[in-house]
Every structure is written in C-alpha cells, then in structure tokens.
Structure 1
Amino acid sequence: MKVYFAAAVSLDRTMLPVYRQIVAEVKKLGHTVINSHVVDPEMPVGDNLSAAALYKRETILIDQADALIADVTKPSWGTAFLMEHALSKDKPVLVLYYKEADRPLPMMIEGHPEVYVAHYTKGNIRTVLRKNLDYFVVMHKRKGKLIVIDGTDGSGKGTQTELLLKYLEDNNKPNKFIDFPRYYTSFHGKMVGRYLSGEFGTLESASPYLSSLFYAMDRLTARDEIVDWLEEGNTIVANRYTTSSMAFQTARIEPDKQEEFLRWLYAMEYKEHKLPKEDIVLFLYVPVEISQKLIEKKDKREYVKGKKKDINEANVAYQQSVLKLYLELAKRYKHWVVIPCVDGNGKLYSVETIHKKIVSTLKERGIL
C-alpha cells in the first residue's frame, strides 16, 4: 500500500527522530512511503519550492496514495490541510499522537468522525501501525457491498431480508446474510438475549453503555467473516447492524447527552473495533401502533424464555422514542434511506410493494 506521511517539519523538527522511526516502521510492514523526503533532516524548509509548486506536488502525491498517516503531536496548519485533502479524496486517514506530548490531542481531531486516532509511544509504534494499516488494506481490497435492513421492532425486517436475498440469488449475484443479534450462535449474542429477557435489570435500570457492549461484541466477533465476504465480492444483507444500537441504545439516554453517546458508540464500533462501514441503511418505517400489532402475531421466542415480547418491545413509549431517533438519524446520514411501509391512510403496503421499493432504491444508489 502507498502511504503518505504528514507531520510538522517546517518550523519545529524536535520530533524528527520519531517521525523517521514511524516512516521506517511503515516500510518494514511492507508498505511504501511515497514522500520519504519529508523526514530527511537535510531537507530545507519547503524543499526550496515555491508555495504553489509545493502545494501541487504534495496534493498530487496524496492523490496517488492509498492512505495518509499524520502525526499531530506538534501542531501544524499544513498537516491539517493535508488531512482534509486526503479525506476529500476518500483516503483513509490515521492520526498519530505521542502519549508523552505536553498538550492534549486537539478536540477537532479527536471528534472527527472520519479519522482513525491512535496514541503511541516509541516502544509500540509498529504495533499501532500494523493494527491500523492492516485495516486500511482490508478497506482497499473491499469489493462487495454491505446492505443493512433496519427498523423498529415488528417492522418486517426479516421478511424483507428474505425477499432481497431471493432477488440476489435469482439474479446470480453472490450474496451472504447475517442476522444481529445472534441470540443462539454467538457467546455475546446470548448475553443480548439475557439482557432483553430482563435478567440484568429493567430497561430503565440497565446502563445503555454496558448493554451496548453486548451488542458491539456480538458484531465484533462477526467482523472477520464480514470482511472476508466483502473481499470476495459478495453483497451482504444484514438484518440490523451498529445502526440499531445507534437508535435503540441512544433513545435510553437523556436528550442532552445523546450526542455524546452517539460519538462514543460510533468510535467504539467503527474506529476501535473497525467494523466494516455499511454502504446503505434501509430503514423500514412503520408507525409504532402498527408494529405493535405485528409483534403480537409473532411466535414465542426462546431468547426471552417463551415470552411474546422482550423488554424493548413491551415498552410502547420507548418504541416511539426509538422511531423518532431512527428518523433523525436518517436525516443526518446520506447513506440512510427511509422506506415507507404504510400509505397515507396508515395502511400497510404489501410485502411485494415494499420489496420493489427496496430494489429500486438499491439500483438508484448504485448498490445493485
């Protein structure tokens, strides 16, 4: 993989020995640093180029790179610009920050949703680089698509998932299916089932931060399988994903603290756990009063010890809050699409009508 390295080198070169170690470790891991000149102690400021020529050279190099690594221990406007340029070109960006720095990591970088942040010491540079660059390689090799079908409880996710998988099969498109939570086949999925049965407390008493870990670990243990499927070029249909926790768990947080929780959840699952990001989220919109009737028609389920409803499904007010949050998330994220499942009179569309809308949406978005 071709890597561009950015750091503060023009005015303050006290970190140059560390930068040189970082570049050397990147090379030892089998990657190419396409701008090794940046850590040359003999390089003059700006490499004796005009501002315009320097800008052109460095942006062209970033365009040619597969990823960018930026050490932001020492502040640099130039490094910040290079990071944003890489992000604008859809290049993955790894931000490194020395643990013994005399100032905290800038909040604008720490809170950036699209950069991967890693704190390092001189003794663990290779470990930090390997973990993140291996993930970037996986992203680079990704050929398939990840479709998430999501919605409130009783919205018909399972039915639409089955119909979409049949469509893919009938059209000779390689496909895979995964269903979260994995109540019966995953160690952590079983813990989710115990939580939903009320074993660890009520909906109000159980911490959303702690209960989110059960769901997150269930997905984490499926990550490598999903990565392999994407590398093989499969279209993966997931019945629920991290997106569900973004609605169901966040809805349990006080409104003024929901944004903080969302950032934490996103950072844990996509940055720390490095789950593959979904290509599209299809949110099945069904009013709660209708979805509750559909839940009543379900068979009793083993994971809630034979009950009709789990602690989420049994709380109608909570389901309303979850639905509201789903709709807010759909407005925030461009890759989320709301699929209306009822007409103007509140009558459910047929499963075939909803399926056709899903297929047409996927075609419009270039997923199929």
Structure 2
Amino acid sequence: MQVKMRANAGLFIAIEGVDGSGKSTQFARLQKRLNQAGYETATFTFPQYDQPSSYFVRAYLDGHYGDTNDVGPYTSSLFYALDRYEAAPHIQAALDAGKVVLIDRYVGSNMAHQGTKFNHAEERRGYFIWLDNLEFEMLRIPRPDANIVLRVPAETAHDLITRRADNASARKRDMHEKNLDHLKKTVEVYDDMCQLFPRDFQRVDCTRGGELLDIDTIHEIIWQKIEPFLPTKPKERAPEAEAHA
C-alpha cells in the first residue's frame, strides 16, 4: 500500500465502507491498538450529527428537501462538505501535533453515496474530480494519507444492518442505508473508486469464500496495511496517564 506522507509527523487514516461493513468496530479496534502501542490518536466521525454544522445533512436525510434521490449529487455534497469544513481546523491541529487521526467516513463516503446518482461512469468520474477540487483545493480540508475501504457484499451488509436496526439512532436517520438497492450501487461505486484511485483508496475484502471474516482477522489485515507508515518512535504516554489506563 502506498501512503501519501505529509510534512508533519501526523498520520491521517479514514475508514470507509457501506453501513454494515464493520466500520465502527474496526475503527474502535484500531484506535485501541494504536493507543496501547503508545501513539496519540484523535478521532472524528462524520456526519457530525450532534453539531450545528450538520444541519443541512440532517435536513437532507430527514427528507426536508424531498426524497434524497431528487436532490442532485452536487447540491447534497455541499451539505456534507460544509460539515467537514467546520471540523477541518481540529483535524489539522491534531496532525500538526503529530497524532494519528482516525476518521469514520470522510470524503470517500460522499463519493460513494452520491456517485450512485449517476447512470454513466464518465459523468460520475467528472463528479469525483469536482468533489476532490471542492473539498481539498477550495475548502482546504485535510486530505487523508490513506482511505481504508471495508468491502462487504451488499446482501451481507443489509443482513447485519437488519439485525442491529435498533442500536443506533443516527443510522435510523440515514435513509440511504435502509435501501438494499442503494447498498448494492454503493458497493459498486466503492469498487470503482478503488480501481480508479488505488493510491487513495485501499480495499480490504471482509469476506472469503462467501463467508464474513472474523473481526480479529479483518483488524490484522488493516493493521498490516498501516503499520509500516506509523511513526517509528511513538510518543510515550505520561506516567499519570499510564496509572489511569
């Protein structure tokens, strides 16, 4: 895996994938292992449903502007981009401090979900270029060093979502993730992203022979991808922090 190294000592990793792919579980596992290894971490989850900056995202997902499919991908992308724009200074500050920044869903999620609204591959790729320019050039939002895409078949993801439908109110608000057809299209767009931009999006296949891999196995695959690019000398935690660990 190639990682775009930055001038400062921080490392920026985004965890991507459709709902039901195990993002939250692997996100927590990765943070725990990094902390145990002595690395300082900063974590963010998008959309920031509990922040004012997600107002337009929440209104969009709640159907305030009509069915999500009726809102154009360029318009809806602005809602998500502004939410990330609000958090950008905090992300950059963590990177400047040499921390490992972990984010659950970032620009890649926009690319995947809104990318399903295009019927032609060339139009979708034009949208990818537009969004990249909007977020990273115009708004100057920090670019991840690596995007780890957890790849799970849509049917498997849908089954997992159904089993835990009552566990997270944020997911209930997300009209996209309730639709199996949308899940299938989103998986396809993520696959396209990994093929088009292999240096930016690294695919992790979470199934083998049609069976879902166990959590520990998936975690080890992710760890092997990022470990070579971690700082060689993790910062030691203060004695007081060790005492309370």
Fold match, TM over 0.5?
yes
Query: Contact conserved, 2:148 with 2:203, CA < 8 A, in 1?
Result: yes
What percent identity do the matched residue pairs reach? 30
| Amino acid corresponding to residue 86 of structure 2 in structure 1 | T
The superposition leaves residues 72-125 of structure 1 with CA deviations (integer Å, 9 ceiling, x where unpaired) of xxxxxxxxxxxxxxxxxx9xxxxxxxxxxxxxxxxxxxxxxxxxxxxxxxxxxx
**TM-score, scaled relative to structure 2:** 0.86
Query: Contact conserved, 2:46 with 2:106, CA < 8 A, in 1?
Result: yes
Structure with bigger RCO (C-alpha 8 Å, 6+ apart): 2
| Amino acid corresponding to residue 158 of structure 1 in structure 2 | S
- Match of 1:249, SS state, is helix
2:151 pairs with 1:253:
no
| Amino acid corresponding to residue 217 of structure 1 in structure 2 | L
C-alpha displacement of 1:311: 1.7
CA RMSD of aligned residues (A): 1.8
2:23 pairs with 1:164:
no
Query: Contact conserved, 2:146 with 2:201, CA < 8 A, in 1?
Result: yes
Residue number in structure 2 paired with 1:354: 218
Residue number in structure 1 paired with 2:150: 284
Residue number in structure 1 paired with 2:134: 268
Partner Cα distance (2:14, 2:165) in 1: 22
1:1-368 matches, within 5 Å, as 140=7, 142-184=8-50, 186-255=51-120, 256-296=122-162, 297-299=164-166, 301-303=168-170, 307=172, 310-333=174-197, 334-344=199-209, 346-364=210-228, 366-367=229-230
Partner Cα distance (1:191, 1:299) in 2: 24
* Gapped regions of structure 2 (runs ≥ 5): 232-245
- Match of 1:276, SS state, is coil
Query: Contact conserved, 1:145 with 1:233, CA < 8 A, in 2?
Result: yes
Partner Cα distance (1:288, 1:320) in 2: 5
Partner Cα distance (1:276, 1:290) in 2: 32
Partner Cα distance (2:166, 2:55) in 1: 19
> How many pairs does the alignment contain?
224
* Gapped regions of structure 1 (runs ≥ 5): 1-89, 91-138
Query: Contact conserved, 1:197 with 1:303, CA < 8 A, in 2?
Result: no
Query: Contact conserved, 2:60 with 2:68, CA < 8 A, in 1?
Result: no
C-alpha displacement of 1:253: 2.2
| Amino acid corresponding to residue 267 of structure 1 in structure 2 | N
Higher helix share: 2
Q: Which has the larger radius of gyration?
A: 1
C-alpha displacement of 1:210: 1.2
The superposition leaves residues 271-314 of structure 1 with CA deviations (integer Å, 9 ceiling, x where unpaired) of 0011111111110010000100111113254457xx4x632112
- Match of 2:116, SS state, is helix
Residue number in structure 1 paired with 2:238: none
Partner Cα distance (1:171, 1:260) in 2: 41
Partner Cα distance (2:69, 2:87) in 1: 29
C-alpha displacement of 1:192: 1.4
Partner Cα distance (1:156, 1:232) in 2: 29
Query: Contact conserved, 1:285 with 1:341, CA < 8 A, in 2?
Result: yes
- Match of 1:143, SS state, is coil
Deviates more, 1:243-252 or 1:160-169: 243-252
Partner Cα distance (1:302, 1:361) in 2: 32
